Structure 1
Amino acid sequence: MLDIDFFKSVNDTYGHPVGDKVLQSCASIIQEHCFEKGHAYRLGGEEFCVLGVNFDQDAAFELAEKIRLAIQHTPIPIDAHQKISITISIGVATAYLSTDFEYIHHFADKALYEAKNNGRNQTILL
């Protein structure tokens, strides 16, 4: 599970068309990193989910960090003269204790909120 940090302030500061560019940029980066490794979904608002198949905890964490760093280091052009940078927070959970989707989703969401509460722009693995 991943969530764009301070997305509301992007919309409030630059307007919803820029917010849409931010969402599109994040989606592209996530898809690029998930190619042949998993599936990415937008859950709504500024929240996304990546489902990886046959990932152990280390591989899941590594992919999450690659996505987080790629988004952090990719300025998004908002007009001909200005770019903005954003960060994301990520919660990672794997099926090592259970293969039940609701169980995994619960722990990934819990990890995401821990990342948010611990200062954002980080990946937490539960």
Structure 2
Amino acid sequence: MKENIIFTEWTRNKRHLSDLKQLKRDILHNFQEHNALNKKIISMLSGGKDSSTALALAKDLGLNVVLAVHFVHKWSWSLSKEQARRIANEFEVPIVFCDITEDLKKRTNGAKGG
């Protein structure tokens, strides 16, 4: 991971984060504040940029990520599943795929457009 990245003006002003180093400090501070530095972490991993970056940061900070979870359903893109698998493998984190198709069907039964 790059040593430091300067964030955009919007992020500096609205999120009060100047750069990657500050973000890392803030993450570690939050984990320390909640006595969670040595806890096991399960990471939701969609395969997209946000969850992949979150996993990369957690691993870079030495946090104990023990499992990644990716939710799939009948209408999922196979690319997302493959990306999630690739990212998890890259960071040496076991991944499980949970099929939520039946639950989605139950929850949307009778819904408009369903």
Q: TM-score, normalised by structure 1?
A: 0.28
Q: TM-score, normalised by structure 2?
A: 0.30
Which structure ranks higher in relative contact order (CA pairs < 8 Å, sequence separation ≥ 6)?
A: 1
**Larger Rg belongs to:** 2
